[in-house]
Structure 1
Amino acid sequence: MDLSEAHALLDPAPLALETGYERLASGVLHVACRTELHGCTGEMFEWWFRFRPNTQQYIWWHPADHVSSAWAEAQDGTHIGSIHLVEEHFSGSPAEKLAIQFRHPHEYFDAAAYDEARDRGAISAAVCGRVGMGDAPARTGSGEILGGRLLHMGRDTPSGMALRSHFYLGEDMPAQGHGAEEIKAAFPDAFGQALLMHCYNEFTFLSRFLPSLYIAEHRDSVKVRLPW
């Protein structure tokens, strides 16, 4: 599924690739991961990125792989526009520095179709962005980070939230003059497997503490139901 076909994520119907990785004709590596976040909601998921976890909280998110967390260009009340500067391993690989620039979902989906899907509950969370290598990756003249793309799309279910995570690694490389073989060398299939394992594990870890943390941060405005 090319990035241009990502509108399929607005429909809960199963995709041909829900979990796995594939090499696109352009050479771009597409990684898909579906995770069930039991007890979580889309509101909690989006709030986690507005909360902007520090290094200690980032390590909670993945105790084995995550190393450090910092934030740049952050704005109050939204994660959109902020840049998450992280260092992390991918399932045992050497640590990498990444810059994740969060963007509005309308950049990736038709605005009317996205809003309609959100209104009818087909989507309850959307965290989308651009991913560059290093803490100061290349940018376009208007400030967009060059590199890959990530799309985290959530849907509330009776047991929690179903999360679809899709990554497009090397998405900007064809426009920069790099051929398919160069992209494959930069992002080999083994990296796709490592990212898939990392993604599934980190969001499984997140689901274990996110509800409690969200309630603790909103206890004056959220009605808490205790089990006794």
Structure 2
Amino acid sequence: MTNYLFRGVVLLMLACSWPTQAHLRDVMVSQQEQQTVIVVEQELQGLRPEMLDWWWNNLGRDGFFQRWNPQAHVAFQWLQAPASQEQLAVAVGAVQDITLNLGGVTLNSQLRYLQPGARCVGDDHRLVAELSFPGHEALGTGLVRYDYTNSGRGEGLLLRTTYSMPDGLAELYPDYVQALSAYVEASMVNLQTFLGDEFQALYVEDALLPWGSYEIVPSGWLTKKVIVNQEILGITPDMLDWWWDNIDTTNRYKGWHPTAHVSFGWRVPPSQPDRLEYSVGAVQLVTEYIGPYKSNLLITWLDPELAEDVVEYQHWIVAKTDLKELSGILPQRLIHEYQTNETGDGIVMRSTFTVPIFFDWIMPGFSQSLGEHAIQEMHFLPNFLPAMFKQEYEKNTEGCGQCQE
């Protein structure tokens, strides 16, 4: 067996050096005997895990599959299409039929998306798919797995791709199997050239914005209000009550809006982050983009009584927002209010931002961008907040034992 073919012992060695090492044990346990295993590890710049989460359900649109690797990709079709292209969750049961040309061999294969397992607080993103080869059923099936997480510098992601294939395939098509490692590496590197832009345009802007609405109304001589209304499925008011004091890290902040949030830190940390009420006086320093405009903001949690006479929903948070460079000179006010929706499967939310009227003079379109930003960021929360709340607040780690090591 040549040196590009690795077996379980190699996976065990790799498990000691990769950030998501615990999850490889799942692969090892599930492998059939007589498997050829190929592992490729990469760091991809400029991408977030959420972008790959979206990618798997969108391979069939806009020529994406061909763009992914023009030299090797011959054909793609969904035999069982994802129910939605507008969610970041793996579409379990989706089946893709693909034809690749590797090592001078053109071969048809099928991948059926499997349940990836429980999401843990750690950045354990993954896709698992059963691999089969029509016309070669006697060989049995294999497994394809992508494990990925944020890089330590937060500027990209670390990716491990694992192919477990029937040994008989290497005997039938040795050149195909030998070319697989280089194919995987080239394909994922190529994603760096277009995935970020497509994710922003097709998901962040096109898919998320219809999930809410906003209006811009006058508010006195010097200010205006941007009022955002939306329904967010999959989270509860308690989760959001807890979230305000537990954003904590830049990585979590980026997960809240992967393409607009830049950095996060507490200037004054919360005094009671383990409770379902925010800590009055806590101050965060964040850097984010509102549309094209980059801002450094100081956000201070204020006494909830200040908004008691104006809110309509049962839960709320009120805060003061200052530009870091002009602290105390141009303070803005924000209120997020929310409660359980009528169907009990999410929340309804209203966000009110009071901003200086001249912001739109010096930053054209700022108020519109602010309304859009508020819709976008809130609809990223269901992708991670339920699991985070369950494990950190409720102390329920069922299904995530591998993540606690």
- The alignment's TM-score, normalised by the length of structure 1, stands at 0.70
- The 8 Å contact of residues 334 and 351 in structure 2, kept in 1 or not, is answered as yes
Instruction: Give SS of 2:293's match.
Output: coil
Q: Which residue of 1 aligns with 2:299?
A: 100
Give the drift of 1:159: 1.7
Q: Does 1:41 align with 2:236?
A: yes
Give the drift of 1:79: 2.8
Q: Which residue of 1 aligns with 2:387?
A: 212
Give the drift of 1:24: 3.0
Superposition pairs of residues 97-176 of structure 1, within 5 angstroms: 97-110=296-309, 122-123=313-314, 125-134=315-324, 137-138=327-328, 147-157=331-341, 158-170=344-356
1:58 to 253, 272, 277: 253
Alpha-carbon distance in structure 2 between the residues aligned to 1:205 and 1:183: 27
Q: Which has the higher contact order (CA 8 A, sep 6+)?
A: 1
Task: Give identity over the alignment, percent.
Answer: 24
Q: How many residues align?
A: 180
Q: Residue 355 of structure 2 aligns to which amino acid in structure 1?
A: L
Give the drift of 1:106: 0.4
More strand by share: 2
Q: Which residue of 1 aligns with 2:361?
A: 185
- The 8 Å contact of residues 52 and 71 in structure 1, kept in 2 or not, is answered as no
CA distance 1:223–1:152, change in 2 (3 Å): farther
Q: What do residues 191-225 of structure 1 show as CA deviations (whole Å, max 9, x unaligned)?
A: 1100011110000111222111111213436999x
- The 8 Å contact of residues 28 and 183 in structure 1, kept in 2 or not, is answered as no
Q: Which residue of 2 aligns with 1:4?
A: none
Give the gaps of 5 or more residues in structure 1: 1-17, 140-145, 171-179
Alpha-carbon distance in structure 1 between the residues aligned to 2:375 and 2:308: 24
Q: Which residue of 2 aligns with 1:143?
A: none
Give the drift of 1:187: 6.2
Q: Which residue of 2 aligns with 1:12?
A: none
Q: Which residue of 2 aligns with 1:86?
A: 286
Alpha-carbon distance in structure 1 between the residues aligned to 2:281 and 2:363: 26
Alpha-carbon distance in structure 1 between the residues aligned to 2:395 and 2:345: 24
Higher gyration radius (CA): 2
CA distance 1:206–1:220, change in 2 (3 Å): closer
- The 8 Å contact of residues 271 and 282 in structure 2, kept in 1 or not, is answered as no
Give the drift of 1:168: 0.2
Alpha-carbon distance in structure 2 between the residues aligned to 1:108 and 1:32: 15
Alpha-carbon distance in structure 1 between the residues aligned to 2:322 and 2:306: 17
1:27 to 201, 214, 222: 222
CA RMSD of aligned residues (A): 2.6
1:202 to 370, 377, 402: 377
Give the gaps of 5 or more residues in structure 2: 1-212, 273-277, 400-405
